[in-house]
Amino acid sequence: MENLRKVLKKLESALIEEEGIADEGLFTTLVNESMEALRLEDSDIAGKMSVSRSAISRWRRGLDAPLPMMRKNIYRFFAKKIIELWGITLQKNKKFLTHQFVFDIIVTDILERGVPAGDDVGHDVRGSVSALWVNDPIVPELQKCYDDTLSECRRFGRFLIWTTLFYTRASKVAAKHKLSTRATDLVYVDSLLGWAESTKTTA
């Protein structure tokens, strides 16, 4: 478990600090350490990341690296896997996760779910990723942000702009806590593109 804790801390720092995303050497190290800690093979993650097994192999040997923006998603993937594996143990280390990291993982998880359907019963932010319902003040605020947005969309039938509304409100929560929303920007854009693609109609 201590090894998982160390790797998660490195992933957290890499996501939050700009230089952590740009450093190719660090990317190679984090991919190898994350895969070893999670006991994953190249084939286990190739499909999840929509790349070939040979690409994963090149990353691990330091022969190649994806663009910095893609590295964010890869770091998030490993971080969420570690948190899910760690489970209840992480709840006992309430001071371990920073506000920024909690915000990034929860908002990323919600945006990746896409626009809720009209009969969506809602989403418990505290359960976005296992063990993230730590006593962090940002968690109940994000829960209220989600609930208010979904309630408004249901009342006025505004599901087409749900993603924009939620992201805007979550950004205000981040600003209140002096956090950056940079780490969620890529997922936000991907979510909008995914929604646009899913709502295309054929002539």
**Where does a domain end: 86, 116, 141?**
86
More confidently predicted of 174 and 50: 174
Give pLDDT, residue 202: 37
Total structural domains within the chain: 2
154/183 same-domain check: yes
**Where does a domain end: 56, 86, 116?**
86
* In the block, residue with structure tokens 């993650």: 45
Distance CA 55, CA 101 (A): 28
Model pLDDT for residues 87-132, shown as the tens digit of each residue: 544 445 555 567 887 888 788 778 777 666 655 567 788 777 655 6
Model pLDDT for residues 132-175, shown as the tens digit of each residue: 666 778 889 999 998 888 888 888 777 777 888 888 899 899 99
Q: Is residue 183 domain-resident?
A: yes
Model pLDDT for residues 67-87, shown as the tens digit of each residue: 887 888 888 888 878 877 765
Split at pLDDT 50, 70, 90, the class of 58 is very high
131/157 same-domain check: yes
Q: Which of 68, 70, 67, 78 is nearest to 30 (CA)?
A: 78
Residue 194 neighbours by CB under 8 Å, 6+ apart? 114
pLDDT at 200 over 60: no
Query: For 119-126, which contacts have Cβ atoms below 8 Å and span 24 or more sequence positions?
Result: 120/150, 122/146, 122/147, 122/150, 123/150
193/136 same-domain check: yes
Give pLDDT, residue 67: 86
Enclosing domain of residue 76: 2-86
114/32 same-domain check: no
- Model-level pTM? 0.61
